[in-house]
Structure 1
């Protein structure tokens, strides 16, 4: 008899996928009445009703956690990378003053392992709920021989909303404004290709500890989310700009919100560099210029505000568990970030 080919024999078990999706649906349960259908529908229905917002502007972003996810899955830090994905994604929209509303995720894998996929969805859903939004759907795709068995690739997109009159886009930034630094809690989700190369070439770095944590645990700390800290400041008119410090560092992200006729002058001697960055620099003999372009260097968000409200803003941040410090000022210029002084790797 001729050999029979089935989808399962080709590498995809539809029954396993269906069972997995039924378990995923429980994690996605939400009390938000604006979500009008259940998980498993062909698309997600979300009623566009935004309380207290007169002129809603939708804020959209897609994100993936980069090569950090390879290390996370290798070291059984699945929950961590799910929080990385959502926290990075939400940070990218809140810097415009937006409230996150709903998230869609995509899980690509070489083979659908039910327990792993359910854990991923559960962690993503929990990360969303912690930031006042809901995971409402997405796609889980099993792709044998495209991805190796045991390999996962995650990404997600978010829909947020902001009142048109309250958008924070940097357009109000002017000379004399102050630049505040809001500390990061580690590498967040950038620079991991360099770190993985360093681990390959200098494996002894894996024996290091940072503040009592192993090197692996330190670099796989989830990306900090700033929404709960910052949302109470969105109505402050004198808050002129927010920049999420990701790939490109301070220089490559703060410049994205500078209006014409302004530049930002940053005092590197005030930069509070986390110990993990000193370790990476020392083991890799990484030039300062590369460190500043590749990593956040201890700054997760830069906040630009009128000098007269800086004290008020810092007090609010401190009450919400986020210490901040003055890192620089806005001057006249050509939308450049001017880095002055030298980085002190022993300051923090």
Structure 2
């Protein structure tokens, strides 16, 4: 009985010692003071020359004056996006600037195809631990990407989540607000048989298909020795997403443009179908599609079926414009002067709100 009491007392003393241990938020992995120091430096990085941005350091939300010069009947255009598993590769290889450009370029493209001009962006940075140098670099590059596209990074959220994400692991996403004149919205409703489909060239993967590519890199590591257009495979797949805002800016609201589609996940078929009105069909000539050489390498190393390639990747067409036939050459000429390659790849015919491929890809 005496030994039992002694053991019970020993256990009680151990529990008391455990209960006496002080637990802090910092010990749990969240450094509030460190986060405050990092956030205190963000204001200078996100300073905007736009007088409509009324931000003040430490405010709970961002202030923006809804004044849109030259827009008679403004309609706000909103979108959220994240750069998918490409960001894991980018952070693994120190490509912070390029993944920030990916995120902003993708967002801007998604509202440009609605006929909108970008205005302001809010970001979210999730991480296992706030590494000040990395977090400030992310904010700096996001803000720079916005300024280069006539918009402003006006705020966001930086969240330290130990136990959810590992130290050194980051997840980015952002939301954008743009504006379009109601009379100049581009939503595909004016697409009709006889319109032409114009493809704007991509520079590669953009931000889609990386789960397949990462699997291929693991299964066939020799693919890393491939070169595409003089670039190493890794450099080619981490090129920032092409942004089409500046090349298309002067054509936003042009009555000849009846619809636009950003070619992301789902490929040409999945995205063009989203803008087609009833009674129409997009007829895409595969033989005219200028396949980016990166996709030839991916298909060859992965033995990826052609229909899976078309469904997963943009295949070299990053954005599609559906427009009046008589204005096609004018648009293509304008885009060329902006350094954007474009070409006719199909037409609109009567159909059942679908996309059909004819001919064969020229691998």
TM-score range, shorter-chain basis?
Answer: over 0.9
Partner of residue 287 from structure 1, selected from 288, 301, 305: 305
The reply to whether residue 252 of structure 1 matches residue 248 of structure 2 is: no
Secondary structure, aligned partner of 2:300:
helix
Q: How does 1:127-276 map to 2 (within 5 A)?
A: 127-276=145-294
Structure 1 residue aligned with 2:352: 334
Q: State the SS of the aligned residue for 2:150.
A: coil
Equivalent residues of 1:40, 1:137 under 8 A apart: no
Report the counterpart of residue 40 of structure 1 in structure 2: 58
Aligned partners of 1:24 and 1:118 also within 8 Å: yes
Radius of gyration: which is bigger? Answer: 2
Whole-angstrom CA distance in 2 between matches of 1:84 and 1:318: 22
- Residue 295 (structure 2) aligned to one of 277, 299, 302: 277
Cα distance in 2 for partners of 1:40, 1:256 equals 41
Gaps of 5+ in 2: 1-16
For the residues of structure 2 that align with 1:182 and 1:133, how far apart are their CA atoms? 23
Contact residue 190 and residue 247 of structure 1 kept, 8 A: yes
> Can you list the C-alpha shifts for 1:121-145, whole angstroms capped at 9, x where unaligned?
0000000001000000000000001
Distance in 1, Cα, partners of 2:114 & 2:57: 29
> What residue is the counterpart of 1:54 in the other structure?
72
Tell me: CA distance 1:281–1:144, structure 2 relative to 1, closer, same or farther (3 Å): same
Cα drift, residue 40 of structure 1: 2.9
Which whole-Å CA distance do the structure 1 matches of 2:351 and 2:141 have between them?
Answer: 44
TM-score by length of 2: 0.94
Question: 1:39 Cα shift?
Answer: 4.1
> SS where residue 87 of structure 1 aligns?
helix
1:72 is the counterpart of 2:93: no
Q: Do 1:195 and 1:280's aligned partners in 2 also have CA atoms closer than 8 Å?
A: yes
* SS at 1:92 equivalent: helix
**Deviations along 1:50-75, whole A, 9 cap, x unmatched?**
10111110000000000000000011
Determine helix, strand or coil for the equivalent of 1:9.
coil
**TM-fit CA distance, 1:199:** 0.5
Is contact 1:105-1:157 (8 Å) kept?
yes
With normalisation by structure 1, the TM-score equals 0.98
Q: CA RMSD in A?
A: 0.8
Q: Deviation digits for residues 58-101 of structure 1, max 9, x if unmatched?
A: 00000000000000001111111110000001100000110000
Q: Figure out how many residues of one structure are paired with residues of the other and give that number.
A: 345
What does the per-residue CA deviation read over 1:212-265, in whole Å, with 9 as the maximum and x for residues that have no partner? 111111000000110001010013201111100000000000011111110000
Equivalent position SS for 2:103: helix
On the 8 A contact 1:39/1:137 being kept in 2, the answer is: no
What does the per-residue CA deviation read over 1:289-336, in whole Å, with 9 as the maximum and x for residues that have no partner? 000000000001101110111111111111111121110000000111
Secondary structure in structure 1 of the residue aligned to 2:41:
helix
Taking the aligned partners of 1:203 and 1:235, their CA distance within structure 2 comes to 46
Distance in 1, matches of 2:342 and 2:202, equals 10
